[in-house]
Amino acid sequence: MLLKYTWNWSFMEEYGSYFWTGVKMTLAVSVAAVIGGLIFGTLLSLLRLSKLWPVRFVGSVYVEVIRGTPLLLQLLLFYYGLPIFVGIDISAFSAAALTLIVNSAAYIAEIMRAGIQGVDKGQMEAARSLGMSGGMTLRLIILPQAFKNVLPAIGNELIVIVKESSILSVIGVGELIYQANAIRAATFTSLEPLLIAGGIYFVLTFTMSKLLGIGERRLRASD
């Protein structure tokens, strides 16, 4: 026997601003994670490409461990483990941003590694023949081309992080799902806030996908 459900959307007048607060927090932590992950991930990709096997080993272990463990576990370890093992009293937002940066860096490292390896080796040889050092060649020639090649993949990582940020509610970060649950608790509604949150996630990710598509077409046109 199906239960008859009475839909109630009247809470939007009083609690609609909660969703906007959640959107701002979701975007803030997601953008911070991608920027931090890009910087850290690029450094990791260079470790993975090093000619020294101990350096490659360190980079490989990091990537495999992070990619092989759940994001939720990493979040809880940062939030509860850092005060215990390191003595650092970390806020929920800081733990959330740090976790997403560490997690995203492992995936971006592989993206950047593929991008660097995809640059024609003749570029390096030509730059060295002009007297440029290895570091200068990497910084001015290789990395800019690699970044351009993998920009769509990095954009997709941002979309993934926006969706994965929903688990941050378990430590009290006021992102979208946290705000939806707060509305549910205050208004005793069960489905409506979740459906609105789902719609907002869809609008965010769909808009990002379209913007990424426009950027990718412009990059192809510039080539």
Residue 149 confidence (pLDDT): 84
Whether residue 43 lies inside any domain: the answer is yes
Confidence of residue 141 (pLDDT cuts 50, 70, 90): confident
Residue 205 confidence (pLDDT): 93
Whether residue 159 lies inside any domain: the answer is yes
Is 10 in a helix, a strand, or coil?
A: coil
**Per-residue pLDDT at 120 exceeds 90:** no
Summarised one tens digit per residue, pLDDT across range 81-110 is 988 888 888 889 999 999 999 999 999 999
Of residues 8 and 2, the one with the higher pLDDT is 8
Residue 138 confidence (pLDDT): 80
**Per-residue pLDDT at 1 exceeds 60:** no
Whether residue 102 lies inside any domain: the answer is yes
Whether residue 2 lies inside any domain: the answer is no
Whether residue 6 lies inside any domain: the answer is no
Whether residue 1 lies inside any domain: the answer is no
Rounded Cα distance, 103 and 70, in Å: 9
CB half-sphere exposure, 166, CA atoms < 13 A: 13
In degrees, rounded to 5, the angle at the alpha carbon of residue 106 between the alpha carbons of residues 100 and 109 is 125
Summarised one tens digit per residue, pLDDT across range 142-198 is 888 888 888 888 888 889 999 999 999 999 898 999 999 999 999 988 899 999 999
Mean pLDDT, to the nearest integer, of 20-24? 94
What's the burial of 173, exposed, middle or buried (CB within 10 Å: 0-12/13-18/19+)? buried
Summarised one tens digit per residue, pLDDT across range 35-68 is 999 999 999 999 998 889 899 999 999 999 999 9
Closest CA to 116 of 84, 87, 138, 91: 138
Whether residue 5 lies inside any domain: the answer is no
Residue 223 confidence (pLDDT): 60
Closest CA to 93 of 182, 19, 178, 155: 178
80 CB neighbour count, 10 Å cutoff: 13
- Look at the chain and report how many structural domains it folds into: 1
**Residue 155 is part of which domain span?**
17-222
Rounded Cα distance, 82 and 181, in Å: 27
- Looking up residue 199, the CATH number of its domain turns out to be 1.10.3720.10
- The predicted model scores a pTM of 0.87
Whether residue 116 lies inside any domain: the answer is yes
For residue 106, report the phi and psi dihedrals to the nearest 5 degrees.
Answer: -65, -40
Contact 111, 153 (CB under 8 A): yes
Mean pLDDT, to the nearest integer, of 107-127? 85
